[in-house]
Amino acid sequence: MNLVIQSPEPIADSHFKPLTALARAQRIDRDATGHVLRLSDAEPLQRADIDAYCGTHRLDYAFIDPALRLADFGLVAMDMDSTLITIECIDEIADFCGLKNEVAAITEASMRGEIKDFNESLTRRVALLKGLDASALDRVYEERLRLSPGAETMLAGARAAGMKTLLVSGGFTFFTEKLKARLGLDFTRANTLEIVDGKLTGKVVGEIVNAEVKARTLRETCAQLGIDPSRAIAMGDGSNDLKMMAEAGLSVAFRAKPVVREAASLALNFVGLDGVLRLF
C-alpha cells in the first residue's frame, strides 16, 4: 500500500526517518508543496503505530492502494453540517430563540452515537424551534454558514475527474438547496422544516433523513448513475453517517467523532476536504 501523509504546514525532514521505519516502507517522496509525503510499499499492519505518531505530530495519514485513481470513482457523497460546512445549522437556528446550549447538547450526543435514535433526537431539537420566525434561517445562512476548508477545491477536483456530487444531510433543505445552487451540486437530500405563516411549527415534513435513509440515498444515487456503491466516496463526521460510509468504496471521516474515525477508511483531522484529492 501507499501511505499518504498530509499536513496543513510543510512537513519537516525530521519526520522522514521515523515514518519510513514505522511504515516499513521502501521509499518516501515529498510533493512540490512540501505538504504531502508518499511512502511506497508501506505495511498496513503498522497502522496503530502510524496513528499514534501522526496524532502526536498533527499529521493526517491514509493507506491507499497504489493502483487506485480518483477517476475510478463516480460519486462523492457528503454530509453537510460539520463536514461540507463548519457549523451545525440547527444549533445556530436555536441560538435565535435562546436555546443553542440545549439543542447543541442533544446534537453532540447524537453525533457521538450516545443517542441511538436519530429520529427522536431530531424531533426533540426541532420541537424547541416552534414559533421562531423563519427569517432566522436566512440569517444563519448569510451570517454564520461557512464552507469547510478546501471544500470548493475538492468539489472542483471531483468534477474534473468526472465525478458527480451528492449532499445528503440530516439537516434541512433550506440550506442544502442554497448550497446546491451555489456550488453546482448534482444531488441533494435533507429534511424539510414545516413553516406556517412565516414561522417554524417545530415539526419536520415527510421522511426524516436518518442513517438508513442516508445509506439508501447513496445506493439509489449510484443506481441512477449506473455505478456500484464501491465507486462512491462518502464523507462524514457523525454517527448518523456511518451506514452511508459503510456502503461506499472509500469512506472519509472529516474532523469526526471517534466512533466515525475508527470505522472510516481514513480520517482527515487537520487538512481540508481537498486532502482527498492528494490521496491518489
Task: Please indicate whether residue 79 is annotated as part of the active site.
Answer: yes
The question of whether 81 is a catalytic residue gets the answer: yes
Q: What is d(CA 74, CA 57) in angstroms, rounded to the nearest whole number?
A: 33
Q: Label residues 173-196 b or e (16+ Cβ within 10 Å = b).
A: bbbbebbbeeeebbbbbbbebebe
Looking at 29, 60, 79, 133, which residue is catalytic?
79
Q: Which three cell numbers stand for residue 131?
A: 414559533
Neighbours of 168 (CB within 10 A): 26
**13 phi and psi, to 5 degrees?**
-60, -25
Strands (E), 211-249: 232-236
Contact in structure between 109 and 140 (CB atoms under 8 Å) = no
Exactly one of 13, 41, 51, 81 is catalytic; which is it? 81
Show which residues are catalytic.
79, 81
